[in-house]
Amino acid sequence: MRDCDLAQNKDAAPRNRVSRSISLRDLGKHLGLSPTTVSLVLNGSPAAASIPKETQDRIFAAAKSLNYRPNFFARSLRSRRTYLVGVMLPELSEGYASLVLSGIEDALLVKDYVYLVTSHRHKPELIDRAPRLLCERCVEGIIAVDTPLTQELPVPVVSISGHEHIPGVTNIVLNHVSAAELGLRHLIQLGHQRIAIFKGLSFSSDSEVRFNAIVSAAGLLGLELHDRLIVPLQGDSPSPEVGYSAARQLLGSGEDFTALWAFNDISAIGAVRALIEAGKHVPRDVSVLGFDDVNSAKFHNPALTTVRQPLARMGAVAAETLLARIAQSTQDVPAEISVEPELVVRESTAPVT
C-alpha cells in the first residue's frame, strides 16, 4: 500500500478523523479519582465494595458518557489471563450442539469470558488435534461436547456427555436410567408392547449408555425388546435423513410395531416423514417418541412427544464448573455431575388402537 494511502489527510473534515480513545488515567483525571479506584469499580472487584455507591455511579456514568473502553490486552498482560475458553464439538447444527452451546455462552458472558469453537466432524485426527490448537491460543480451560477425550490436558476440562473417567476431567451427564424408565413407561402405559428402538450412531458418546439403560429398564418393566425392531442409525449427517433412512429400513423388514423410540428428536422427525410416506398415521398407527426436546420439536406436525434432556442447562453447568475450576474457588473437583430428564407429552404418541 502507498504511503499516501496510509497518511491522514490534514484537510479532511473532523468527522473523518479517528478520535483518540480515552484511557483509564484520563477517566480518573476527569472524575478527580485515582485510576486504581476507577479500575476496581469498572472491573467489579470485591474491593470496590468499600467505595461509596454514589462514587461508583459517577464512575459508570462518566465511562458511558465518554465512551470509555478498557484495554483488554493491557488487562490481560497485567493479570496473565486471557478470559478465553475453548469448546470442542462434533459440528454446529440444529439440535443437541446448538442448545448446549447456548447454555455455555449464557454462563460465560456473565463472567466476561468469550469462547473459541472447533468442530471435529468425528474425525479422529481432528479430535486429537483440536485440544492442541486451543491450548496454543491460550484458552484457560476446555469444554468437550459429545467428544471423546484421549489425553490429559494442561488446562481444566469439563466434558458434556463424557463417560470416560479421566483424572482432572468433570463429566456432565444425563441420568439415562431415569430417562429410559420415563420413555418406556409412557409407551407401555399407552398399551404399546412392540416398540422399535433407534440405536444412536456409533461415534455418539451417549449411544451405548442410553441403549444399555433402555435394555435394563425394559427388563424392570417386563417389556420384551425384539432384536429385529432395534435399528442402529447409519451415516454421519446431523440431519433428519438418518432417521428417515432407519425408518424406511424398519418398514421394509415387515416387522409389526406400534411405537418407535428414536435416539433423538432429529432422527424422530425423519422417521415421522418416512412413516407418513408409507401411509402410516402418527400417532394413530405408530406412536413416535423423541429424545432431547430441541427447539423445533414442539412446532413439528405432529408436535413431538420427547424425553427432555436439559441441554442448555448442561452447557451452563459445564461453563460454571469450568470457571470455578479456573478461578480455583474450589479444591474439590467433582468427577461427575448428573442432571435429570423430563418427559414432555405432546401429539406424536397415543394409546394403541
Percent of the chain with pLDDT over 70: 90
Residue 158 and residue 186 share a domain: no
What is the β-pairing status of strands 230-232 and 259-261? unpaired
User: Per-residue confidence at 230, pLDDT binned at 50, 70, 90?
Assistant: very high
Residue 326 and residue 226 share a domain: no
Residue 46 and residue 159 share a domain: no
With beta carbons less than 8 A apart as the criterion, state whether 292 and 320 touch.
Answer: no
User: Per-residue confidence at 178, pLDDT binned at 50, 70, 90?
Assistant: very high
Average pLDDT over residues 154-160: 94
pLDDT of residue 144 exceeding 70, the answer is: yes
Q: What is the predicted pLDDT for the residue at 166?
A: 86
User: Per-residue confidence at 330, pLDDT binned at 50, 70, 90?
Assistant: low
Q: Is there a domain that residue 290 lies in?
A: yes
- Each residue's pLDDT tens digit, 111-121: 889 999 999 88
pLDDT of residue 232 exceeding 60, the answer is: yes
The listed range with the strongest mean pLDDT (68-72, 112-116, 228-232) is 228-232
pTM above 0.75, yes or no: yes
With beta carbons less than 8 A apart as the criterion, state whether 131 and 346 touch.
Answer: no
State the cell numbers at 251.
Answer: 418398514
State the cell numbers at 99.
Answer: 442448545
Residue 260 and residue 169 share a domain: no
Residue 190 and residue 169 share a domain: no
Q: Is there a domain that residue 353 lies in?
A: no
- Residue-range definition of the domain harbouring residue 88: 82-174+312-339
Q: What is the predicted pLDDT for the residue at 208?
A: 95
With beta carbons less than 8 A apart as the criterion, state whether 174 and 182 touch.
Answer: no
Q: Is there a domain that residue 8 lies in?
A: yes
Residue that is last in its domain, among 54, 78, 102: 78
Q: What is the predicted pLDDT for the residue at 1?
A: 38
Residue 291 and residue 332 share a domain: no
Residue 300 and residue 277 share a domain: yes
Q: Is there a domain that residue 165 lies in?
A: yes
User: Per-residue confidence at 176, pLDDT binned at 50, 70, 90?
Assistant: very high
Q: Is there a domain that residue 262 lies in?
A: yes
Which one is predicted more confidently, 71 or 273? 273
Q: What is the predicted pLDDT for the residue at 16?
A: 40
User: Per-residue confidence at 206, pLDDT binned at 50, 70, 90?
Assistant: very high
DSSP 8-state secondary structure symbol assigned to residue 334: -
Q: Is there a domain that residue 302 lies in?
A: yes
Q: Is there a domain that residue 247 lies in?
A: yes
CA-CA distances (angstroms) from residue 206 to 60, 199, 217?
47, 10, 16
pLDDT of residue 71 exceeding 70, the answer is: no
CATH number of the domain encompassing residue 23:
1.10.260.40
CATH number of the domain encompassing residue 215:
3.40.50.2300
Residue 125 and residue 18 share a domain: no
Nearest one of 273, 247, 248 to 261, comparing CA atoms: 247
User: Per-residue confidence at 32, pLDDT binned at 50, 70, 90?
Assistant: very high
State how far the Cα of 79 lies from the Cα of 64, in Å rounded to an integer. Answer: 24
Residue 258 and residue 182 share a domain: yes
pLDDT of residue 146 exceeding 60, the answer is: yes
State how far the Cα of 186 lies from the Cα of 335, in Å rounded to an integer. Answer: 32
Axis crossing angle, helix 241-252 with helix 265-277, rounded to the nearest 10: 50
Residue that is last in its domain, among 49, 78, 107: 78
User: Per-residue confidence at 320, pLDDT binned at 50, 70, 90?
Assistant: very high
Residue 243 and residue 123 share a domain: no
Residue 61 and residue 115 share a domain: no
State how far the Cα of 37 lies from the Cα of 55, in Å rounded to an integer. Answer: 10
Q: For the chain, give the mean pLDDT.
A: 88
User: Per-residue confidence at 150, pLDDT binned at 50, 70, 90?
Assistant: confident
With beta carbons less than 8 A apart as the criterion, state whether 265 and 95 touch.
Answer: yes
pLDDT of residue 249 exceeding 50, the answer is: yes
Which one is predicted more confidently, 248 or 56? 248
pLDDT of residue 234 exceeding 60, the answer is: yes
User: How many domains is the chain partitioned into structurally?
Assistant: 3
pLDDT of residue 6 exceeding 60, the answer is: no
Q: Is there a domain that residue 346 lies in?
A: no
Q: How many residues does the chain have?
A: 353
pLDDT of residue 74 exceeding 70, the answer is: no
Q: What is the predicted pLDDT for the residue at 75?
A: 56
> How many Cβ atoms sit within 10 Å of the Cβ of residue 243?
28
Residue 74 and residue 45 share a domain: yes
Average pLDDT over residues 18-46: 79
